């Protein structure tokens, strides 16, 4: 593994190995053990979009591993004034040992990896959010004791989260059901990939069909970063796509609920369901730290 760009590039074994490492690193952290395999190194973090979890968990995780994090908002670096990704990649590669980027177009992440000479990590694009899904899988594994054979149902927009959950989930043995309006389906490349998993993947407009017998219910905002102007149209299209008490009754009685956050309670999830599952949801947020440390160690140590 040279980069962490999207699950389509990875094998199920590689994902499982990273999850095991994330579990070990979490144990070390909880035991107060200092573990600094990246001492003396630096990691640049480029943000073209806002962030709470990704920024803080990467910055803290990099520091815990002994390296120096550099927060680079695109508003403050020349990238924001039109310097190309290719040149930015070649410059940063002369200074730092790894680059994390949050941006719009997946192609920018791919270009960064192509033109740079250091490992690149995708911290969210419009296409995928693989760091989040690593934390999601770690959380499911902790709460359920396994991944293989469990059913995950995603309710809402066929967005970056849905794309990453489908590919990452199927690769580690989950069954994945997506409920979304037709006009908001997951990426065609992802649906093509899912064709290789007959009987393990369903795409429907019916939230109750998707949630039936699910072990994990998952949702995300109706309008993602960059879609602010579509908010009204999306609110209409997604009105019926909510995880609430009625939908919970379709899932297994011990079903977990996950949300990548930030949440819009009363839209994609009811306040009651969110609070009833807050322990799982905030474990999930915490696991961003441990999962990303595993990615950093794997790529850079």
List of residues contacting ligand CP (CB under 6 A)? 51-54, 124, 132, 260-261
Q: What distance, in Å, lies between the first and last C-alpha atoms of the chain?
A: 12
Beta carbon of residue 52, minimum distance to ligand NVA (angstroms, whole number): 9
Nearer to ligand CP, 47 or 238 (CB): 47
Conformational region of residue 268, where left means phi above 0, alpha means psi within -120 to 50, and beta covers everything else: alpha
Contact 181, 158 (CB under 8 A): no
Binding partner at 277 among ligand CP, ligand NVA, none, C-beta below 5 to 8 Å by kind: none
Q: CA dist 254 to 57, 173, 261, Å?
A: 29, 20, 22
Q: Residue 43 to residues 38, 207, 230, 269: CA-CA distances in angstroms?
A: 10, 41, 34, 35
What are the residue numbers of the active site?
102, 129, 132, 220, 260, 288
Q: Which does 160 bind (CB under 5 to 8 A by kind): ligand CP, ligand NVA, none?
A: ligand NVA
Q: How far is the CB of 51 from ligand NVA (least distance, A)?
A: 8
Q: In angstroms, give the least distance from the CB of 51 to ligand CP.
A: 3
- Containing 178, the helix (H) or strand (E) segment is strand 175-179
DSSP string covering 26-66, please?
A: HHHHHTT----TTTT-EEEEEESS--SHHHHHHHHHHHHTT
Q: Which is nearer to ligand CP, 47 or 201 (CB)?
A: 47
For residue 68, give the H/E element and its range.
strand 68-73
Q: Which one, 97 or 268, has the nearer CB to ligand NVA? A: 268
Q: Is 113 helix (H, G, I), strand (E, B) or coil?
A: helix
How many other C-beta atoms lie within 10 A of the C-beta of residue 19? 22
| Closest distance to ligand CP from the beta carbon of 203 (Å) | 23
**Partner from ligand NVA, ligand CP, none contacting 52, C-beta within 5 to 8 A by type:** ligand CP
Under DSSP, is residue 169 helix (H, G, I), strand (E, B) or coil? helix
Beta bridge partners of 258: 218
Q: Which residues bind ligand NVA (CB under 6 A)?
A: 124, 129, 159-161, 220-221, 224-225, 260
Decide which of ligand NVA, ligand CP, none touches 221; Cβ closer than 5 to 8 Å per partner kind: ligand NVA
Cα dihedral sign, 224-227-229-235: negative
Per-residue burial over 242-272, b if 16 or more Cβ lie within 10 Å, else e, is bbbeebbebbbeebbbbbbbebeeebbbbee
Partner that binds at residue 171, options ligand NVA, ligand CP, none, CB closer than 5 to 8 Å by kind: none
* Closest distance of CB 162 from ligand NVA, Å: 9
- State the nearest-atom distance from the C-beta of 246 to ligand CP, in Å: 26
Judged by CB, which is closer to ligand NVA: 49, or 200? 49
| Residue 161 contacts which entry, ligand NVA, ligand CP, none (Cβ below 5-8 A, type-dependent) | ligand NVA
Nearer to ligand CP, 194 or 291 (CB): 291
- Of the pair 131, 300, the CB lying nearest ligand CP is at 131
108, 52 Cβ separation under 8 angstroms: no
């Amino acid at each position: 593994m040279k980069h962490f760009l999207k699950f389509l590039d990875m094998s199920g074994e590689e994902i499982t190995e990273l999850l095991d490492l994330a579990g070990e690193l979490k144990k070390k952290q909880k035991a107060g053990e200092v573990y600094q395999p990246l001492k003396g190194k630096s990691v640049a973090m480029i943000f073209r979009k806002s962030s709470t979890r990704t920024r803080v968990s990467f910055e803290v995780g990099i520091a815990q591993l002994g390296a120096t994090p550099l927060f680079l908002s695109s508003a403050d670096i020349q990238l924001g004034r039109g310097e190309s990704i290719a040149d930015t990649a070649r410059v940063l590669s002369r200074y730092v040992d790894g680059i994390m980027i949050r941006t719009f177009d997946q192609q920018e992440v791919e270009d960064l990896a192509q033109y740079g000479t250091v490992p690149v990590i995708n911290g969210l694009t419009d296409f995928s959010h693989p760091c989040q899904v690593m934390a999601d899988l770690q959380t499911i594994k902790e709460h359920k004791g396994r991944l293989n054979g469990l059913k995950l149902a995603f309710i809402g927009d066929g967005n970056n989260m849905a794309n990453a959950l489908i590919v990452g989930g199927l690769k580690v043995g989950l069954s994945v059901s997506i409920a979304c309006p037709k006009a908001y389906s997951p990426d065609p490349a992802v649906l093509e990939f899912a064709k290789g998993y007959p009987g393990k993947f369903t795409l429907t407009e019916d939230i109750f069909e998707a949630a039936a017998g699910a072990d994990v219910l998952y949702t995300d905002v109706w309008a993602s970063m960059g879609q602010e102007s579509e908010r009204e149209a999306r609110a209409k299209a997604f009105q019926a796509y909510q995880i609430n008490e009625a939908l919970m009754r379709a899932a297994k009685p011990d079903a977990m609920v996950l949300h990548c956050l930030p949440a819009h309670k009363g839209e994609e999830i009811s306040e009651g369901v969110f609070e009833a599952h807050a322990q799982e949801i905030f474990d999930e947020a915490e696991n961003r730290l441990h999962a990303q440390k595993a990615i950093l160690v794997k790529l850079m140590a």
